Amino acid sequence: MSYQVLARKWRPRSFREMVGQTHVLKALINALDNQRLHHAYLFTGTRGVGKTTIARIIAKCVNCETGITSTPCGTCSVCREIDEGRFVDLIEIDAASRTKVEDTRELLDNVQYAPSRGRFKVYLIDEVHMLSSHSFNALLKTLEEPPPYVKFILATTDPQKLPATILSRCLQFSLKNMTPERVVEHLSHVLGVENVPFEDDALWLLGRAADGSMRDAMSLTDQAIAFGEGKVLAADVRAMLGTLDHGQVYGVLQALLEGDARALLEAVRHLAEQGPDWNGVLSEMLNVLHRVAIAQALPEAVDNGQGDRDKVLALAQALPAEDVQFYYQMGLIGRRDLPLAPDPRGGFEMVLLRMLAFRPADSGDAPGTTLKPVGISQATTDSPAPVAPVAIAAPAPQPVSAPAPVVEAVPEPEPEPAPQPEPEAEPVVAAEPEPEIEEVTDLPWEDPIPAPVAAPEPEPAPAPVAAAPPAAPREEPPHDDQAYAPAGMDRDDEPPPDDDYYMGEVDPAGYSYLDELATEHAAELSAEPAPEPEPEPAAQPATGLALQWLELFPHLPISGMTGSIAANCTLVSAEGDNWLLHLDPNHSALFNATQQRRLNEALNQHLGRTLNLSIELIRPEQETPAQAAARKRANRQREAEQSIENDPFIQQMIQKFGASVRHDTIEPVDAVVTQGE
């Protein structure tokens, strides 16, 4: 008699022999015992989890000579013929090889005939997702209302490809993958009955290699028995599968723990002698790190399936938790990028060296082992020494008749810092090959721009930055009677005119830091302004002049940025034709002299007289027009939400159907009408 493989020899012949799938077996057993049989069943799941096996057991249950029961006898002629695959009323169809609509029509033509031997004619269609769309359409009517003596059992590994019309006509059962623990338990039973010596570590290797499939596990066990000459040993299984010895993985992790680059590369060299799959080696490292993280969180949860529980617990004690998480994340990213490396071994070494170079800084709970110097820049281990600031010397004030001298970057024996008006000024590093320490002075663009002073003769331009050739004297642009806007207040919805904006001198010899600032400023002017945030509620309600400003604001002929500035102001003083407004400093980036002039002109036009308007950057204490509008919107929103919640129909939906109100979808009716207009 020829040898029968374990996967076929140990195929379950009843529900009691099934391994796993309890959620499916319970429903089927109860339906068979209570005679509540459906006419169509659909079993989904990966390969080798029991779809075809359950279908054959159902065929025996409904056709057994002892009656319809969940425990067929297994000895009658019907049960024996089904087990041997020669029962005439069990029609097994491979949909992958019979995808045409003509094949489905031929099948349906035979449905009308009564069964020859059993009570039911059972159609088992495997890999049903391979049928064509026309075949599915031809099957729909018969699948929905088959003859009373016909049962359909469909099986597929890809239920997403089935039409919804097929799914709605079947009872669907999703079979789960087999866990390694359940596979190891079943293999132990099978090998014990077969009298095959085995090692537990070998079964764990087979259980993980099966990847959730019991049939794959049985086939790999057959291969391991042949490879090991009748024995299933861990070393043989590891050599057969090409998996890595965990001892070498722990050697790599130990080298990482000690920060020893030499030992790390030596461990990689020993790995290379076996010609491993470097992606698999990295996967084994991630598995060990995962178990180490579990041991740090819950030591008793670590299993000893691989015989390395003590090593895992030792690593959990030696490695800080943040190092474990860092190495795991770095390994995941390295595994993703490994196919892009020119050489797989080189890519694996780079992952390890990256872990070594960027290991987290030592902390209070870090291991006490002194890390060895690895010759790699450790960006996070040691704090870099503070670098002395090297600044561009600013031009000192010079008389009107003499131009400012050029400051050269000459090393000084003992530089003495000059007094700084603004100590918080941030130094700027000069672009020198080997810069020397220069005197830190205030940069010209950080000082506030003074008010223009009438001068009979133009003053010479300030000197360029250090190490630049002297520039020719240059006249300043003419000034008007208006004060310059403070720094940071020159943005507008359009480029301001020349009398409102002034840029300092730039380096005519080439690129300088001022050029970069000018380029960034031009990009800011061309970019669209960001949406304004919702204003915060006012500290006090508007009264007096502030209330008059609320009433006056909607009638002013302004819009855009000028309107936004006016909406965030409040009137605090009105002495004759001299008005004083307070503007929220959060909106200072929108404010400049141009906006102040436009607002003044709009007030003059509306009131029919000439006012002298002043605006100060002080947070208004009373409500501004923007805050008033926000308050009204919030009140309308609350009223709309309250109206929805108090609606009798809505309350009935909540009570009867467990509905919930999404407040983010509620919008006041008047707001909707306004948008529609």
DSSP one-letter string for 193-224? HHT--B-HHHHHHHHHHTTT-HHHHHHHHHHH
Residue 273 maps to which CATH number?
1.20.272.10
Distances (CA, A) of 343 to 266, 283, 569: 18, 18, 66
Question: Smallest Cα–Cα separation from 6: which of 333, 224, 290, 245?
Answer: 224
Same domain? For 17 and 147 the reply is yes
What is the C-alpha separation between 441 and 423, in angstroms, rounded? 9
Rounded alpha-carbon distances, angstroms, from residue 263 to 249, 251, 259, 572: 13, 9, 9, 75
pTM confidence score: 0.50
Residues of the chain with pLDDT under 50: 363-413, 415, 417-456, 458-514, 525-530, 671-677
Query: Which structure tokens are listed for 415?
Result: 């530089």
Structural domain ending residue among the three candidates 141, 174, 207: 174
Residue 18 lies in a domain: yes
Of 334, 357, 380, at which residue does a domain stop?
357
The residue behind tokens 């079979």 is 175
Is residue 437, in this structure, part of any structural domain at all?
no
Q: Report the alpha-carbon distance of residue 34 to residue 638 in Å, rounded.
A: 56
So what's the pLDDT on residue 533? 61
Quick one: 46 and 195 in the same domain?
Answer: no
Q: Is residue 302 part of a domain?
A: yes
Residues 219 and 326 grouped into a single domain: no
- Residue 636 domain-assigned (yes or no): yes
Asked if residue 580 belongs to a domain, the reply is yes
Q: What is the pLDDT of residue 305?
A: 62
One domain for residues 33 and 169: yes
* Per-residue pLDDT, 527: 47
605 and 586 within one domain: yes
- What CATH number has the domain bearing residue 106? 3.40.50.300
Residues 223 and 346 in one domain: no
Same domain, 298 and 170: no
470: helix, strand or coil: coil
Q: Is residue 29 part of a domain?
A: yes
Per-residue model confidence (pLDDT) at position 504: 43
**Does a structural domain hold residue 83?**
yes
Task: Name the nearest CA neighbour of 589 among 520, 503, 488.
Answer: 488
Looking at residue 191, its pLDDT comes to 93
In terms of Cβ atoms closer than 10 Å to its own Cβ (0-12, 13-18, 19+), residue 343 is exposed
User: CA-based angle 220:225:231, to the nearest 5?
Assistant: 135
270 belongs to a structural domain: yes
C-alpha to C-alpha distance for 228 and 241, rounded to whole angstroms: 12
Same domain, 114 and 71: yes
**What's the one-letter identity of residue 315?**
L
Give yes or no: residues 162 and 188 share one domain. Answer: no
| pLDDT for the residue 253 | 87
User: What is the separation, in whole angstroms, between the first and last Cα of the chain?
Assistant: 89
Q: How many distinct structural domains can be found in the chain?
A: 4
Choosing from 241, 261, 283, the residue where a domain stops is: 241
What separation in angstroms does the CA of 68 have from each of 21, 80, 84, 169?
A: 22, 16, 20, 23
pLDDT value of residue 447:
45
> Based on the domain organization, do 668 and 568 belong to the same domain?
yes
d(CA 258, CA 264): 9
- Do residues 209 and 279 share a domain? no
What pLDDT does residue 100 have?
85
Q: 3-class DSSP state for residue 359?
A: coil
The half-sphere exposure of 388 on its side-chain side, counting CA atoms within 13 A, is 10
Q: Are residues 39 and 168 in the same domain?
A: yes
Give the pLDDT confidence score for residue 498 in this predicted structure: 44
The domain in which residue 24 lies consists of 6-174
